[in-house]
Amino acid sequence: GAVVSQHPSWVICKSGTSVKIECRSLDFQATTMFWYRQFPKQSLMLMATSNEGSKATYEQGVEKDKFLINHASLTLSTLTVTSAHPEDSSFYICSARVGGDSYEQYFGPGTRLTVT
């Protein structure tokens, strides 16, 4: 159990376009979902935390107008990178938490974004 999927697994887009990444919890309801970014040979960097039905909480330095997060249901959260630039090229990973007494995060397989 506790499977999280991400789609797409990789995407190449042109500079100035927008890209949407989906994160789904397949066999559980996720009260909270997290979006991370990871540059090569660096650790995970939390971008934002989203709870179903409410606005996402962004970490300092993350532009909320550039990285739009929608957590429309207990099984789906989306991250849209708007007006992408080459420096946005990275590995984007989502994770989900069941809630209650469990704080373990279940990670999706990640999405590799390349902006040309």
Partner 1 sequence: GQNIDQPTEMTATEGAIVQINCTYQTSGFNGLFWYQQHAGEAPTFLSYNVLDGLEEKGRFSSFLSRSKGYSYLLLKELQMKDSASYLCAVLDSNYQLIWGAGTKLIIKP
Judged by the rule CB under 8 A, the positions of this chain that interact with partner 1 are 34, 42-44, 46, 49, 91, 93, 95, 103-110, 112
| Cβ nearer to partner 1, comparing 14 with 41 | 41
| Cβ nearer to partner 1, comparing 30 with 108 | 108
Instruction: Confirm if 106 and 96 have CB atoms less than 8 A apart.
Output: yes
| Cβ nearer to partner 1, comparing 10 with 18 | 10
Shortest CB 79 distance to partner 1, Å: 14
Beta-carbon contacts of residue 22 (< 8 Å; ≥ 6 apart): 6, 7, 76, 77, 78
Shortest CB 3 distance to partner 1, Å: 12
Beta-carbon contacts of residue 38 (< 8 Å; ≥ 6 apart): 44, 45, 90, 91, 92, 93, 110
| Cβ nearer to partner 1, comparing 82 with 112 | 112
Shortest CB 73 distance to partner 1, Å: 21
Tokens matching residue 24: 């789904």
* 70 vs 80: CA distance, rounded Å: 9
Shortest CB 16 distance to partner 1, Å: 27
